[in-house]
Every structure is written in C-alpha cells, then in structure tokens.
Amino acid sequence: MYVADTIVAPATPPGRGAVAIIRLSGKEAIAIARTLWRPRKPGELRPRELRLGAIRDPSSGATIDEALCVIFPAPHSLTGEDVVELHCHGGVYLVRRILALTADLGARLAQPGEFARRAYLNGRIDLTRAEAIADLVEARGEEALVRATAQLSGALARHVEGLREKVIGIRAYLEAEIDFADEDLDLPSRAQLASSINELADSVRLLRDSFARGRIAREGVRVALIGKPNAGKSSILNLLLGSNRAIVTPIPGTTRDVIEESISLGPWSVVLSDTAGLRDSVEPIEQLGIARTRAAADEADLLLAVFDSSRPFDSDDAQVVAATRERSGIALLNKCDLAARLDRERLRAEGMKLRVVEFCALTAYGLAELRRHLEVTIDQMAGGPQTDGSPAITRERHRVALDQALAALQAAHDAALASMPPEIVAVDVARAADALASITGAVSTEDVLDAVFSQFCIGK
C-alpha cells in the first residue's frame, strides 16, 4: 500500500564524516526544510540549486549547523515526490539531532528501501533498476560493478520487455484467430505459431541460463580451503589475502572456526573460507569445528583441497579426497620446499580428480598459477568469459520468473501443436507474459515488492 507521508533518512552511512546528507521525501518535505533551514543570503530556494544556509531549532531559534540545501520538486525527483537534501556536517549527534527536528515537524524515519520503493511506485524506475542500485552499492569486484551499471541503465529491463513484446505479439495472432474465426484471414498456421513460440522459449532459456554468471558476479564465488590439520590452509588464506588474518602455528588443530574473507580475482569477487582441519577427532570442540568445515565445504562453489606434501598420504587426507568427489576446485600440494613424501601421482591414485598444483605457502611458489587456475575455473562456472555484452539476470527472483515463463511457453507450444482452441493457447501465452512482466515490475504484488526492497538499507 502506498502511504504518501513524508519520510526522512540519512543518505550517507552512519558515523563521523566531512558531510552527511539527510534526505526527505513527501508532501511536507519542502515545508519542513523551509522551517528548519534558512538561506544565508535572502531569496527563494530554486529547484536543483544548492544553497548555503543554516539549520535552526525552530523552538529556540538556535543555530545548530551550517548546511547546504537543495530541493527537487515533484515529479522530477528521485522518488517522484518533493525531495529535499540537507548537506550538513557529518557528526553522529548532529545528524541525530536534525533527524529529530524533522520528526517534530511531521517526518517519519524511512524503512529500508522506502525511497527506492516510492521511486518504483511512482514509475521513476522499474524493479530491475531498483535492484541494480542495491547491487552497485554492494559491488565488490569489477564484474559486479559492470553488471550493476548496465542493469541500472536499463539493459536487463529492455531485454525482458523485448521478450514480453514478442509474447504479446503471439497473443495478438491468437486474439485475431478468436475474433475472426469465421472470416478468411491469412493467419499463421499452428505449426508456424508453435515454431515462433519455440524460438521465443530459446531466448528466454538463454537469459535464464545467464544466472550462473550474474549470481557469481553479484554475490562472489565461495571458495573453501579444506585439508587435514597442519596442511597449511591458514597460511594459504593469509597469502591470498596479503595479511596475517588467520592464526598459523605448527600445532595441528589451530583453526577451530570458519574464517571468511573476500579477495578480488580478475573481475571476480571471491569469498574465501579457512576451516578447521579434517581428521577423526574425539575432542568435542574440534568436532564442532569439523562439522562447520563440512558445512562450509557443502556451501562452497569451489574447493581448495590442501595437502602436506612433506608427509605421507594418510586416512585424514583420504577424507579430504572424498570431500572433493563430484566437486570443482583445485588441489594444492603444499610445503613443496620440504622433502616430498606425497606427490601428484599418489594423489591421482587415491582418486583425486581436481587439477593438482605444487605450492609453497612460505615462499608463495605456485601462487600465480593458483590464481590463474582459479580465475579460469570461475570463468568456466560462469559459462565462459563473456564477450557479447548481453545482459545477465542476477537474482533468484528473476530465475524463478523466467522458469515460469518457460513452462508457460512450453504449454502454449504443446497446445498449439495439439490444435487446441486459440483461447486455451492464449491463456498459457498470457501466463508467460505476466511472468516476464513480474521481473521489471510491470506487474507486481506486495510480496514481491517487500522481497525486493527489504534488501535495501535505510536511506535508499
């Protein structure tokens, strides 16, 4: 439900900074600003013009801060409503004080994503652009940034709209068949119709299959380091991070909990998890840690299986090999600076199917090779390096909608071939159009909007 009251929130992150921006949107926004803020030089506030002035407490008349003010009257604003920005100094207490003053004058603190939701409801942005704003803010790597910018420019929305128009075109043929059943019109045959539906389904499938790339770009790739205690997992994490994040000691069983850190790898963002060493342990704390290792390995997109090449293969290593079965990743023969007691051939003989890289965490030997292989593996997971610049979907929501559209197109195709009455085929075609419309929000429900906008933070 659209409530047109006036909302307020800091648009800048909490904490101290040179400047904080407080944003108001709604019918009372400009009136509230006029009460709180007075220009230094006399004269009316003109739209989209930044003016210097002071913020005063209306009850005492005391000046609280020097601040810039800019107004964006409806409908040409972020939300489509009257919007005001107060650029004040970035003090924690100061911002809280100004927010309280706006509340006294009738503004309500905005919910997460409420500005973007109003922008959508007033037709300023579609849902994919709203999601792109969230993605842009969250982007942790070049691929995520490029994707979010393209989506913000409307590339995905236009692509989906194009597909929907084709679906509606097919619907138009069916309507003609219904309306002019008795007349001798030159309409496409059922076989032609079925083949057009098929073509369209192929395009929808292509977009759905872009999810792997889109998701990886947006969320990052999850990579778990697994191996027996003392194999060198934490040393490798630290090396990849370039900092001593995890504790490293010669004592097996040092890492007890899962440690997560992000790195960039080429265009990708990678979330690395260092884990407790896998072994048969009776110690209860270690057992809990090992259960977490297994969970992290299950959740990971890729595994980095670490082996201590200075020690003979044992039953703990066998557990690690077993954990890599049917999984993607890379095996590292670590400690290759020491005399070798375990080599590539032995690992292969024990059933290791992943690529094996010789490594030394102390000297960084093999690091370039590891990074290169990881990047190539991620490229492959994402469906190969992208060259054509076509948009990718980035969210489960998009994928579900495209699956629904595909199922409906399939049903329409079958009904068309089975010479079903045009009304029946048209129902399936309409379902496909609605599913596509839900992606951009041309058709939406409260539930969908709640799901999309609750991911935003306050002030967006």
Residue 302 partner contact from Mg ion, ligand GTP, none using kind-dependent CB cut-offs of 5 to 8 Å = none
Mask 193-232, x = binds Mg ion (CB under 5 A)? Answer: ----------------------------------------
**Residue written as tokens 């997992």?**
233
User: What is the closest distance, in whole angstroms, from the C-beta atom of residue 67 to ligand GTP in the complex?
Assistant: 52
> Does residue 273 bind Mg ion (CB under 5 A)?
no
Alpha helices for 336-417 (secondary structure H): 344-349, 367-381, 396-417
- Residue identified by tokens 């379902």 is 431
Q: How far is the CB of 101 from Mg ion (least distance, A)?
A: 52
Question: Judged by CB, which is closer to ligand GTP: 213, or 228?
Answer: 228
Q: Give which of ligand GTP, Mg ion, none residue 253 binds (C-beta under 5 to 8 Å, depending on kind).
A: ligand GTP
> How near is the Cβ of 238 to ligand GTP at its closest, in Å?
8
Nearer to ligand GTP, 129 or 233 (CB): 233
Exactly one of 25, 151, 238, 255 binds Mg ion (CB under 5 A); which one? 255
Helix axes 367-381, 211-219, angle to 10 degrees: 130
Q: Which range of residues in 152-160, 196-204, 249-257, 448-456 is near Mg ion by CB under 5 A? A: 249-257
CA distance 135 to 152: 9
Tell me which H or E stretch contains 58.
Answer: none
Question: Between residues 77 and 234, which has the closer beta carbon with respect to Mg ion?
Answer: 234
Query: Binding partner of residue 252 among ligand GTP, Mg ion, none, CB under 5 to 8 Å per kind?
Result: ligand GTP
Min dist CB 236 to ligand GTP, Å, is: 7
- Closer to ligand GTP by Cβ: residue 101 or 290: 290
- Is residue 271 within 8 Å of residue 138, measured between CB atoms? no
Interface with Mg ion: number of residues (CB under 5 A): 4
The strand pair at 83-90 and 63-72 is best described as antiparallel
Q: Report in angstroms how near the CB of residue 451 gets to ligand GTP at its nearest.
A: 39
What count of residues does the chain have? 460
From the CB of 256, what's the least distance to Mg ion, in Å? 9
416 closest CA partner among 223, 173, 99: 173
Q: Choose between 297 and 416: whose C-beta lies nearer to Mg ion.
A: 297
Q: What is the dihedral of CA 305, 309, 314, 320, to 10 degrees?
A: 0
**CA 15, CA 86: separation in Å to the nearest integer?**
17
Closer by beta carbon to Mg ion, 286 or else 343: 286
Residues interacting with ligand GTP, by CB under 6 A?
227, 229-235, 248-250, 252-255, 276-277, 334-335, 337-338, 360-362
Site string for Mg ion, 55-74 (x = CB under 5 A): --------------------
> How far apart, in whole angstroms, are the C-alpha atoms of residue 163 and residue 203?
8
Q: How far apart are CA 332 and CA 344, in angstroms?
A: 10
Beta carbon nearer to Mg ion, 287 or 445: 287
Name which of Mg ion, ligand GTP, none residue 242 binds, using a CB cut-off of 5 to 8 Å depending on partner kind. none
Please give the Cα distance from 334 to 136 (Å, whole number): 38
Contact 64, 55 (CB under 8 A): yes
Work out what residue 391 binds among ligand GTP, Mg ion, none; the CB cut-off runs from 5 to 8 Å by kind.
none
Residue type, 354: L
Rg (Cα) of the chain, in Å, rounded?
29
Coil, helix or strand for 53? strand
- Per the CB < 8 A criterion, the answer to whether 165 and 402 are in contact is no
Judged by beta carbon distances under 5 to 8 A according to partner kind, the member of ligand GTP, Mg ion, none in contact with residue 231 is: ligand GTP
Give 252 or 383: the residue with its C-beta nearer to ligand GTP. Answer: 252
Quote the least distance from Cβ 362 to ligand GTP, whole Å. Answer: 4
Cβ closest to ligand GTP, residue 67 vs residue 332: 332
Angle at which helices 233-241 and 367-381 pack, to 10 degrees? 80
Distance of closest approach, residue 254 Cβ to Mg ion, in angstroms = 5
Return the residue nearest ligand GTP (CB atom): 277
Which residue is it, tokens 């069983």? 253
DSSP state of 281: -
What, of ligand GTP, Mg ion, none, does residue 230 touch, CB below 5 to 8 Å by kind?
ligand GTP
Nearest one of 168, 265, 216 to 392, comparing CA atoms: 216
Tokens of 167: 């679906």
Interface residues with Mg ion (CB under 5 A) are 233-234, 254-255
